[in-house]
Amino acid sequence: MVQHPEPPPAPDDDATLHQGKLLYQSNCLGCHGDSAQGNNVLPDLRFSPMLEETAWKSVVLDGALNARGMISFAPFLQPAEVAAIRAYVISEAHKELGAGS
């Protein structure tokens, strides 16, 4: 069984999670796979160390991993939208951990 690091606390705002899921599906799914699971090339976002709030923003908005192929989404997404996507990914991590117990 694969051991995963503990993700940040799960958000519980249904409206934010729904918005995050829709934004994830339209902006992230093509590269990062269904439910943020990765695709054997790109990492499983659910258990990424980049889920920490400041790191997430630095990657998704500030382009910290641009040299590795992860573009900045600042031209396409607002900070609140990026936060909603993060909340959705965190919720998917907690679902996975709950399913494995």
pLDDT in tens, 37-58: 887 778 889 999 999 999 999 9
Q: Which domains does the chain have, with CATH numbers?
A: 14-99 (1.10.760.10)
Query: Residue 3: CB partners within 8 Å, gap ≥ 6?
Result: none
Interatomic CA distance for residues 99 and 23, integer angstroms: 24
List, in sequence order, the alpha helices (H) in 1-101: 14-27, 29-32, 53-60, 79-99
Structure tokens at 12: 């519980």
Please determine, for residue 16, whether its predicted confidence score (pLDDT) is greater than 70.
Answer: yes
Closest CA to 45 of 28, 23, 68, 61: 28
pTM value is 0.91
Dihedral sign from CA coordinates of 58, 60, 62, 63: positive
Closest Cα partner for 8 from 39, 35, 43, 47?
Answer: 47
